[in-house]
Amino acid sequence: MIEAYSSLPMVASAVIYLLAMMAHAAEWAAARRPVEVPERVLVGSGGSEPAASEPEAEHRVTLFGRIGVALTVVGALAHVVGVVLRGVAADRLPWGNMYEFVTSSLAFAVVFYLVLVWRRGWTWLGLPVTLLLSVGQGLAVTVFYVAIAPLVPALHSVWFIIHIVAAAISAAAFNVGAIAAILYLIRERAERKGTVRGYLARLPKAAALDDFSFRVHRFAFPLWTFVILAGAIWADYAWGRFWGWDPKETWSLVTWVVYAAYLHARVTAGWKGVRAAWLAVLGVVTFWFNFVGVNLLTVGLHSYAGI
Amino acid sequence: MALLRLFWVQLTSMRTALLLLLTLALVAIPGSLLPQRPIAPIRVSDWKAANPAVADLYEAIGLFDVYGSPWFAAVYLLLTVSLIGCIVPRIQVYAKALRQPPPRTPKRLDRLPASVAGATALSADEALTAAEGVLRAKRFRVRREGDSVAAERGHLREFGNLLFHLSFALMLLGVAWNTLWSYKGEVIVVEGQAFSNNLTQYDDFSAGSQFKPANLQPFTIWVDTFTAKFETGEVQRGAARVFEADVRVAHGDGAPEEARIEVNHPLVVDGTQVHLIGHGYAPVVTVTDPEGNVAFSGPVVFLPQDGNFTSLGVIKAPDARPNYLGFEGFFLPTAVVDQQGPHSVFPDALAPELFVNVWTGAPREETGRPESVYSLTKDGLEQMTTDDGKVVTFRIAPGQAIDLPDGSSLSFDDWRRWTKLQVSSEPGLWLVIGAVGLAVAGMMLSMYVRPRRLWLRIVDTPDGPRVEAGGLDRAESSTGLADDVAELAASAGVEDAARTQEVGP
Ligand code: HEM
């Protein structure tokens, strides 16, 4: 019964995020428009001031942006209600399978994003974040969905709570960090070529994006290390060995090593900047592979495997 | 020059470390995609049979045991050497830096990323003392020299960085220690039976090269009951819900104490862990030979073949006379017979049945060679047939018995559960866990501590003493430098210190 009440807001949130993404897409499109009037002066200005030449277009940009954020807030409310009800219905913390993990982790991501919008006015994250949310929630409610069931005995452990909640939070952070890294790559390229215009002009400067990406990763990396440690301790309780090169364990390590390489790259001449940002993107790819690929393609001990 | 050299050496080694890290990530991948012999030997053989074209090549380059292969070891050994080679000189540099006072005040403070200048109402000495006090209160290391104060904080950042890298090396040490001294054994124990921690009792045992049989802690475990419960609802029907073993344990020659082992709650006996890692069924049978003697009696372990515990096993009665008797067949906890033949449809024993066929032959001589209890060696045996030539197969439920054409009989008295216990000792584990914990702490310090240097100088001018203050951050992502500089200047009596400039990003 509650299960239905939990799925409904979850599905609703996926749809609302999709609408929010469309609003942000319209925002980007509207921000592009002024440039179609060839305006040499703008080219290479590189500032974060939008083209002030067309107040009406500017008005549209702001309007679509606001609609996007408002929709995201509504979506996030539905989403959080969905996650909480799922937990209530299952009578345990709602992260016992892939569906629950994705929805919980994205809930952390959307809350993090909304805090950034609220405290710092960072609406420029809107399009990529709503893209992530609508794809993620969309996949969750369609492909990953499973009905509620109690946990298998291997998951009955406090380490289950600690390990997975930390994993969900670091997942959220890695995704937001990767979004910042991708935006950095795009903006950096435009700055190098002197083609900062339209939406790109609304992004913070490349250096600031890089810095934000680093701050997010700086938070996520120790947490991810802890996730692996907690996982190893739990594995020792459950299976009597703390490390067994299970595919899931191996890919967590691969992810960890890639992010360690990212942190090293940031202090290595010739690697800082663009190449380091690519490592952050590679990191999130390995993270996702660990999550989706390993569950679906390989056989391991993790009872998450299979949907 | 020397500084440049040091810089260059560090630069190159960081780059090496970076490449080694990426290589490590890369070489760990094949092992997660191909079956690995130490984990799943049977899947390796299956895989090789299914891919004969590449099987030999893969075997030759160690792709079926990636984490034990020489090239994997080469990468992490290189990484360790690089790590240590990089960390030792840095520790020396750090130790020296700790003993050094904050660097001298630069000539031009207004060239620093943040600086402030202004007149002060205080005397030079008062201003310097006041600034020093404020800096000390903020836990800066302070050096007062002539007309200036130099301050520095944030040595903990490098400490954290060193701690992190050292802990990483420590963790590798812990893993090595554990690999050499640990052991792990598996044993199947039927309800009502006992296990003593002794090499001869294990079905399967592996240990590091430094392990000695004397390291085994002497204890005995009696498995009194094993409880298994499964999901009976619609969703995830048949999924495991509860596994518990109620046992008694005796340390050495001590008196037995009651204990319970659950998944996630291993029993720890004198530092040795005992885990439940599997379970199954053992039908209890009695074989009577044509002469009326009981040739075999007791529980027989059958091995599960699928998620519903369709279990395969053999019952051997080598003492049966005049002929050897062997039974081969299935135990089905919830038996169903349909187009697929007999199989089980639920993991719990709701409708258990035994499906068997019978092999018989001349009595065997004792060879002394150990023989698997899970398979029947069929040399010299043939399947028992009825008088009209049909092969004898039958199904029986608990409590039933069947009389065979040769006058012998098999009675299916009851069934019990067995559990597979894993006994393991991991002496290096605490070091590994501790090292990773330290590594996390070091990592946080190295990423969150912000090293900062501040300076303040009093310059005498015809209009009275004038304060110059400036600051420098040595880490990215630092904030609040301008505020610190302004505060420092204000402490020395500069009133309008807000006109701080912060240059650069
Ligand atoms: C498995 C191996 C390694 C891991 C996981 C690792 C991890 C890290 C991390 C997370 C940082 C960032 C700290 C910060 O931002 O201050 C760092 C910094 C550093 N690592 Fe490593 N490291 C490893 C191996 C090495 C090796 C082999 C070397 C030496 C060749 C090395 C040299 C350095 C140096 C010099 C820094 C300084 C960065 C700074 O001062 O900001 N690392 N390492």
The confidence score (pLDDT) of residue B9 equals 65
Q: What amino acid occupies position A202? A: R
Residue numbers of B between 416 and 445 with CB closer than 8 Å to A: 422, 424, 426, 429, 432-433, 436-437, 439-440, 443-444
* In contact, B421 and B186? CB cutoff 8 Å: yes
The string of pLDDT tens digits covering residues B54-82 is: 888 888 888 888 888 888 888 888 888 88
How many domains are contained in chain A? 2
| B105: closest CA of chain A, how far (Å) | 27
Tokens linked to B194: 């006992």
Domain ranges of chain B: 2-96, 101-154+450-499, 180-279+422-438, 281-364+373-418
For the CA of B13, the nearest atom of ligand 1? 30
Domain residues for the domain of A104 are 1-151
**Three-state secondary-structure class, residue B424:** strand
Residue B503 has pLDDT above 50, yes or no: no
DSSP B162-182: HHHHHHHHHHHHHHHHHHHH-
Instruction: Tell me which chain B residues have a C-beta less than 8 angstroms from the C-beta of A232.
Output: 432-433, 436
**Same domain flag for A173 and A225:** yes
Decide which of A82 and A39 is more confident: A82
Tokens linked to B368: 């002394």
A-B CB pairs within 8 A amount to: 144
DSSP B359-379: EEESPPPP------TTS---T
Decide which of A51 and A230 is more confident: A230
**Same domain flag for A168 and A92:** no
d(CA A84, CA A82): 6
Angle of helix A247-265 relative to helix A274-288, nearest 10 degrees, comes to 170
Look at the alpha carbons of B60, B64, B66, B70 in this order and tell me if their dihedral is positive or negative.
negative
Among A171-175, A246-250, B208-212, B479-483, which range has the highest average pLDDT?
A: A171-175
Indicate the pLDDT class of residue B4, thresholds 50, 70 and 90.
Answer: low
The string of pLDDT tens digits covering residues B13-69 is: 777 888 888 888 888 888 888 888 877 778 888 888 888 888 888 888 888 888 888
- What share of chain B in percent tops pLDDT 70? 94
Domain boundary among A116, A151, A186: A151
DSSP state of B265: B
- Contact between chains at B22 and A261 (C-beta distance less than 8 A): yes
Tell me what the pLDDT averaged over chain B comes to: 86
**Same domain flag for A306 and A174:** yes
Element holding B221 (H helix, E strand): strand B219-230
Mean pLDDT, residues B181-196: 91
Q: Whole-prediction pTM value? A: 0.83
The residue whose two tokens read 């943040």 is: B114
Among A1-15, A162-176, A234-248, which range has the highest average pLDDT?
A: A162-176
The string of pLDDT tens digits covering residues A177-189 is: 999 999 999 999 9
Residue B476 has pLDDT above 90, yes or no: no
Residue B317 has pLDDT above 60, yes or no: yes
The residue whose two tokens read 């390989």 is: A298
**Same domain flag for A168 and A303:** yes
Indicate the pLDDT class of residue A241, thresholds 50, 70 and 90.
Answer: confident
Closest-CA residue to B186 (of B291, B277, B284): B277
**Same domain flag for A168 and A136:** no
**Same domain flag for A304 and A172:** yes
**Residue A126 contacts by C-beta under 8 Å, 6 or more apart in sequence?**
A20, A24, A27, A65, A68, A69, A72, A117
* In contact, B143 and B102? CB cutoff 8 Å: yes
Mean pLDDT, residues A12-16: 93
Phi/psi zone of residue B62: left (φ > 0), alpha (ψ -120 to 50 degrees), beta? left
* In contact, B223 and B194? CB cutoff 8 Å: yes
**Same domain flag for A137 and A272:** no
- Contact between chains at B264 and A267 (C-beta distance less than 8 A): no
**Three-state secondary-structure class, residue B117:** strand
The confidence score (pLDDT) of residue A237 equals 84
Residue B8 has pLDDT above 60, yes or no: no
Report how far Cα B210 is from the mean position of its chain's Cα atoms.
21
Tokens linked to B143: 């050096």
The string of pLDDT tens digits covering residues B354-389 is: 999 999 988 877 776 667 788 888 888 889 888 888
DSSP B42-80: HHHHHHHHH-HHHHHHHHHTTTTSGGGSHHHHHHHHHHH
Interval between CA B442 and ligand 1 midpoint (Å): 11
Tokens linked to A155: 């998951």
**Same domain flag for A44 and A145:** yes
**C-alpha distances out from residue B198 to B204, B205, B215, B218, B435, Å:** 12, 11, 10, 7, 32
Three-class SS of A162-223 = HHHHHHHHHHHHHHHHHHHHHHHHHHHHHHHHCCCCCHHHHCCCHHHHHHHHHHHHHHHHHH
SS percent in chain A: helix, strand, coil, step 5: 75, 0, 25
- What share of chain B in percent tops pLDDT 90? 32
* In contact, A107 and A79? CB cutoff 8 Å: yes
Instruction: Tell me which chain A residues have a C-beta less than 8 angstroms from the C-beta of B240.
Output: 152-153
Cα-based torsion angle of the residue sequence B473, B479, B483, B488 in order, rounded to the nearest 10 degrees: -30
The confidence score (pLDDT) of residue B474 equals 77
Tokens linked to B70: 């020489």
The confidence score (pLDDT) of residue A48 equals 44
Among A25-39, A247-261, B65-79, which range has the highest average pLDDT?
A: A247-261
**Same domain flag for A123 and A253:** no
Residue A49 has pLDDT above 70, yes or no: no
DSSP B81-105: HHHHHHHHHHHHHHHHHHHSPPPPP
Indicate the pLDDT class of residue B288, thresholds 50, 70 and 90.
Answer: very high
Report how far Cα B40 is from the mean position of its chain's Cα atoms.
17
* In contact, A306 and A252? CB cutoff 8 Å: no
* In contact, B308 and B342? CB cutoff 8 Å: no
**What is the topology classification, in CATH, of domain B101-154+450-499?**
TATA-Binding Protein (3.30.310)
Residue A99 has pLDDT above 80, yes or no: yes
In degrees, rounded to 5, the angle at the alpha carbon of residue B29 between the alpha carbons of residues B26 and B32 is: 170
**Same domain flag for A12 and A120:** yes
**Same domain flag for A186 and A276:** yes
* In contact, B143 and B457? CB cutoff 8 Å: no
The residue whose two tokens read 């109620």 is: B246
Domain boundary among A151, A184, A206: A151
| B104: closest CA of chain A, how far (Å) | 26
Closest-CA residue to B352 (of B315, B313, B309, B381): B309
DSSP state of B197: S
**Three-state secondary-structure class, residue B109:** helix
Q: Does B263 touch chain A (CB under 8 A)?
A: yes
Measured between CB atoms, which of B21, B66, B67 is closest to A264?
B21
d(CA B320, CA B327): 12
Q: Strands of B333-451 (E only): list them.
A: 335-338, 341-344, 353-361, 381-383, 393-396, 401-403, 409-425
Residue A42 has pLDDT above 50, yes or no: no
The confidence score (pLDDT) of residue B40 equals 76
Residue A41 has pLDDT above 50, yes or no: no
Beta strand B353-361 pairing with B183-190: unpaired
**Residue B51 contacts by C-beta under 8 Å, 6 or more apart in sequence?**
none
For the CA of A257, the nearest atom of ligand 1? 5
Residue B294 has pLDDT above 50, yes or no: yes
- Contact between chains at A268 and B15 (C-beta distance less than 8 A): yes
Interval between CA B94 and ligand 1 midpoint (Å): 15
Residue B357 burial (10 A CB sphere; 0-12, 13-18, 19+) = middle
The confidence score (pLDDT) of residue A297 equals 66
**Same domain flag for A99 and A36:** yes
The confidence score (pLDDT) of residue B188 equals 94
Interval between CA A109 and ligand 1 midpoint (Å): 28
The residue whose two tokens read 């009695």 is: B286
Domain boundary among A119, A151, A183: A151
